[in-house]
């Protein structure tokens, strides 16, 4: 069984799993689905597969699905090329790609600043906070900026190497960006985000402009690329810095922010995954705009909806040329 093939990068996160759940629900009932689930370890990929199977089996009408666990470390270029070889050897075509790469390097919280932001601007404090402490100067084993390689260049390079499969599958590529991707987060003189004190946000900004620089070329090959953002939701990554009291205080602030008019507080990872799967369901792809970022949003009563936004294109050409030159550099290094 193959049917439609879904490559889900970052499958074992809360958002990744909920993207898979919504894909199962939204796909044509007659389509079988094969999920290629990537994770840094085989065990975590298998765990994600088991969770997806349980979700499917609990539906009133389960669909036919298959799971293909795949070890992938986006901070290791050899791991990326090995994963691409395995995919091309196993699958003739790939129909959907979700890039849910979200490596964060938060080392803690500046609690004084956090309290100050909550008091002076409570909605802003839980929408675009500036009290997270991120590590700087981190490099991968390939001597690239760690967050840059894991969140941007690694998946970008992987997609480039999988183009024959994507072309045959008339693929839809969905990059998961963030609400926190303002142009100010991306220093154009530090594109590998090595010295940046906001490397995570910088990587998400780079995804936005990378998309603007590449989607037209992909479209000429019959491949449609979109960029989306999930809003603000409860994820595993940040909870490690909270105790039970601060966790529930955060949850209260999330719901208050939504009640006070913040449509970006999706809170529930299932609602956060809405925009990612939404863009794969377009009936007329030539009619729908690709130069927008489609955001998962909710009304203040929690009802979900999609909110598209314009993307500032500052740095588009610089980022596009930089990634292209990096691809050529690594083609030579890897002899591909």
Catalytic one of 177, 178, 275, 296: 177
CA quadruple 216, 217, 223, 228: dihedral sign: negative
| Distance, CA of 196 to CA of 190 (rounded, Å) | 7
> For the chain, first and last CA: distance in Å?
30
Under 8 Å between Cβ of 61 and 137: no
The DSSP element (H or E) to which 122 belongs, if any, is helix 122-125
**Which residues lie below 8 Å from residue 269, measured CB to CB, with a gap of 6+?**
14, 15, 17, 18, 230, 233, 234, 235
Under 8 Å between Cβ of 141 and 75: yes
Catalytic one of 13, 96, 140, 204: 204
Q: Which residue has the tokens 């996160």?
A: 13
Annotated catalytic residue 177: yes
Q: Where are the beta strands (DSSP E) in the chain?
A: 4-9, 33-39, 65-71, 96-99, 106-109, 132-134, 172-176, 224-229, 292-298, 304-310
Annotated catalytic residue 200: yes
Instruction: Give, as one character, the DSSP assignment of residue 95.
Output: -
Catalytic one of 98, 200, 224, 294: 200
Under 8 Å between Cβ of 157 and 210: no
Q: In this structure, what are the phi and psi dihedrals at residue 200, rounded to the nearest 5 degrees?
A: -65, -50
**Which residues lie below 8 Å from residue 278, measured CB to CB, with a gap of 6+?**
228, 294, 306
Q: Which residue has the tokens 């759940």?
A: 21
Residues taking part in catalysis:
177, 200, 204
């Amino acid at each position: 069984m193959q049917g439609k093939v879904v490559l889900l990068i970052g499958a074992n996160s809360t958002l990744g799993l909920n993207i898979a759940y919504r894909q199962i629900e939204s796909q044509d009932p007659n389509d079988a689905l094969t999920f290629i689930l990537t994770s840094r370890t085989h065990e975590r990929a298998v765990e994600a597969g088991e969770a997806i199977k349980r979700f499917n089996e609990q539906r009133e009408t389960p669909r036919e699905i298959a799971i293909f666990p795949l070890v992938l470390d986006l901070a290791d270029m050899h791991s990326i090329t090995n994963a691409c070889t395995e995919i091309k050897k196993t699958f003739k075509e790939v129909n959907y790609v979700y890039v849910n790469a979200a490596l964060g390097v938060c080392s803690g919280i500046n609690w004084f600043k956090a309290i100050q932001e909550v008091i002076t601007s409570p909605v802003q404090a839980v929408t675009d906070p500036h009290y997270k402490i991120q590590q700087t100067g981190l490099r991968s084993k390939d001597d690239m900026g760690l967050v840059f390689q894991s969140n941007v260049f690694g998946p970008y390079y992987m997609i480039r190497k999988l183009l024959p499969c994507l072309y045959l599958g008339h693929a839809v590529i969905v990059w998961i960006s963030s609400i926190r991707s303002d142009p100010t987060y991306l220093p154009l003189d530090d594109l590998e985000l090595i010295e940046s004190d906001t490397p995570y946000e910088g990587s998400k900004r780079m995804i936005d402009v990378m998309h603007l620089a590449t989607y037209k070329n992909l479209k000429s090959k019959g491949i449609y690329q979109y960029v989306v953002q999930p809003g603000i939701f409860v994820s595993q990554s940040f909870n490690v810095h909270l105790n039970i009291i601060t966790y529930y205080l955060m949850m209260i602030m999330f719901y208050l922010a939504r009640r006070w008019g913040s449509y970006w507080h999706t809170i529930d990872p299932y609602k956060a995954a809405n925009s990612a799967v939404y863009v794969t369901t377009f009936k007329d792809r030539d009619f729908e705009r690709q130069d927008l970022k489609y955001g998962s949003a909710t009304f203040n009563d929690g009802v979900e909806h999609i909110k598209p936004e314009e993307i500032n294109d500052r740095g588009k050409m610089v980022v596009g040329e930089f990634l292209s030159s990096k691809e050529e550099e690594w083609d030579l290094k890897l002899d591909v």
